[in-house]
Amino acid sequence: MEPEQHTIAVAIVTNDKQEILLAKRYEPESAHTHGKWEFVGGGIEFGEKPEQAVIREAMEEAGIEVKVVRLLPKIISNIWEFFDGSKQQILIISYECKIISGIPTPKPEHNTGDIKFFAIEEIKSLDTLPKVYEMSQMALT
């Protein structure tokens, strides 16, 4: 199998208490991601700008309308190796965002089983996807 590469955009949503919004992944068929905390976000559709993808994904996965505050200064790269020998490289573009309307609500049909705000210290002890803590710190600086 040929290795694949995907680019995703994530919303690092902060609130007035300097907490970070995370969604708990609900994807029972995917052992490497199910039950892990992550940011709302996802794939950038053909012709879509990354900022548009973040806004769309926040609505789809959390039922919130967000505004982009800023592009964060580092693109993150993760390589996943699967049991069948396949490999994927995920490039993550992250944006600090603020909620402008709506209340974060899990959307199981979009792979979110739970969703809530966490203080940065709490994120260290969560079962997260790679780089969530590092990316959270970027949003708070």
* pLDDT, position 136: 95
Whole-angstrom distance, CA of residue 96 vs CA of residue 62: 16
Can you tell me the distance from the alpha carbon of 100 to that of 120, in angstroms, rounded to the nearest whole number?
Answer: 22
**Tokens describing residue 136:** 């959270």
Could you give the CA distance from residue 31 to residue 133 in angstroms, rounded to a whole number?
21
User: Contact 69/98 with Cβ under 8 angstroms?
Assistant: yes
Looking up tokens 């996807």 gives 129
The tens place of each residue's pLDDT in the chain, 141 residues long, gives 788 888 999 999 999 999 999 999 988 787 778 889 999 999 999 999 999 999 999 999 999 999 999 999 989 898 877 777 788 899 999 999 999 999 999 998 888 899 999 999 999 999 999 899 999 999 998
Gyration radius of the chain over CA positions: 14
Rounded Cα–Cα distance for residues 122 and 20 (Å): 10
The pLDDT of residue 108 is: 84
Q: Report the residue count for the chain.
A: 141
- Distance in angstroms between the alpha carbons of the first and the last residue of the chain: 41
Q: For each of the domains in the chain, give its residue range(s) and CATH number, in order of start.
A: 4-139 (3.90.79.10)
Q: Is the pTM of this model over 0.95?
A: no
Q: Which residue has the tokens 């794939």?
A: 43
Determine the longest span between alpha carbons in the chain, in angstroms. Answer: 46
